[in-house]
Every structure is written in C-alpha cells, then in structure tokens.
Amino acid sequence: MEVYLLPIEAAVVTFLLLSIILTLPFILYQHRKHGAVSKLRTPILLSFLLYMLCVYYLTILPLPDPKTFEQTANIWDYINLNPLGFIRDFVETTQFKITDITTYLPAMQEKAFYQPLLNILMTVPFGMYLGYYFKDSLKKTVLLTFLLSLFFELTQLSGLYGIYSHPYRLFDVDDLILNTLGGLIGFLIYKRCLRRLPPIEKYDKQ
C-alpha cells in the first residue's frame, strides 16, 4: 500500500501549489466569460487536476535509486508487445481454478489480479470527466484515453524524458488495453448515471 501512498502524497502537494497559482486566473476568466463564477465548474476542474496529478505520479513513482540503477540495459527488455498477457499471468501464477469456487477470493488478492484491475480503475474517472464536463463522444473518449495511456507508457519508456539512461518500468501493451478499457467504462458510467446530473452549463448562468 505504501507504494501507492507516495505518489498520492506527491500529487496532493503539487496540487496545492498549482491551485494557488491557477485558481485566481481561472476565476477571473470565468467571471469575464460568463459574468459570474460557476459554483460547479471550478471545483470540478480542480478535482480533475488533482486526479490527473495522482495518475501521473502513480505512473512514474517511486523513482529508482540512482545508487543501484544500472546505467546500461537492453531497451527491449523493457517492452512487452504481446497483448493479453495479464490473462495468462493470472491463470498461471495464481491459485485460481475455474472449477473450484474456493480459489476465487484468494486469487483476487494476488498481484496478477489486482494489478490489471488497478490499471482499469485508474482511467475510469478520466472517461467520466470527458463525458460529463468536456462533453466528448464515446469515440473521442476512447481515443483520448488511449493517447493518455500511451503518453504514460512513453514517459516510462523514455526513462522519464531522458533523466535515466534507460526505462525503469515496462512499456506494456496490456496497460494500453486496460487503461483504454477503463476510460470506456467511465464514459458508460457517465451515460448510465451522471447524465442525470444537471448540465454544467446551468451553473454558468447562476
């Protein structure tokens, strides 16, 4: 759990700093455009900023220790282009047996299950934001979620933009698939549930 707390803590600190810098200009922009400050748009955008920071830091942190980091490596050792390997890993490395229901819960507590699940859940809010706040279509949401995931994977592949001499995390095609699926699920949740919320434009007029 600690491996996830560090990125979230870093995201919160960054969020507080960016909020101080960006909130006032955004409020002034809203007031000039709509004649008032939206009661809903500002907090939603701030929550979106916090969410994006959390997702970003989760993809790059924790950073490797420079003292133990190998300076040379074969980049292809950090690339997986074989899709759906997470299914094979789940079947081969967990105690899951489809004929034995008692193995279901223990298997769900193993990394081969919850790691792909977290990759899906990570982008579910992204699809919800794109649908409700940005009014994007299903196709655009899927495309933008894929591009977001690709950005994260390329960030890792680049060794954090060249700071490290080679990648320190795996560029995994499965992550692209699972992240994109998460965005799709988020958009469908919006269509089923969040569409009942008042249109955000309503708050711009208040």
* Low-confidence spans in the chain with pLDDT less than 50: none
Question: In this structure, are 48 and 134 located in the same domain?
Answer: no
Q: 99 and 193 in one domain?
A: yes
Are 109 and 140 in the same domain?
A: yes
Three-state DSSP state, 171? strand
Per the DSSP assignment, residues forming a β-bridge with 130 are none
Same structural domain, 17 and 84: no
21 and 91 assigned to the same domain: no
Nearest to 134 by CA among 93, 63, 190: 190
Q: How far apart are the first and last CA of the chain?
A: 43
Q: Is residue 20 part of a domain?
A: yes
Contact status, residue 11 vs residue 53, Cβ threshold 8 Å? yes
Quick check: is 206 in a domain? no
| Domain identity same for 98 and 52 | no
Which of 46, 63, 59 lies closest to 12 in space, CA to CA? 46
Which tens digit of pLDDT belongs to each residue from 162-198?
888 889 999 999 999 999 999 999 999 999 887 677 7
Q: Output the pTM of the full model.
A: 0.88
Give CA–CA dist 52/46, Å, rounded.
Answer: 10
Range of the domain at 72: 68-201
For the chain, the domain total comes to: 2
Question: Which of these, 155, 171, 153, lies nearest to 163 by C-alpha position?
Answer: 155
On whether both 105 and 181 belong to a single domain, the answer is yes
Query: What does the pLDDT look like over 55-70, one tens digit per residue?
Result: 999 999 988 887 777 8
Boundary (domain end) residue, out of 18, 42, 62: 62
Based on the fold, state whether residues 45 and 82 are members of the same structural domain: no
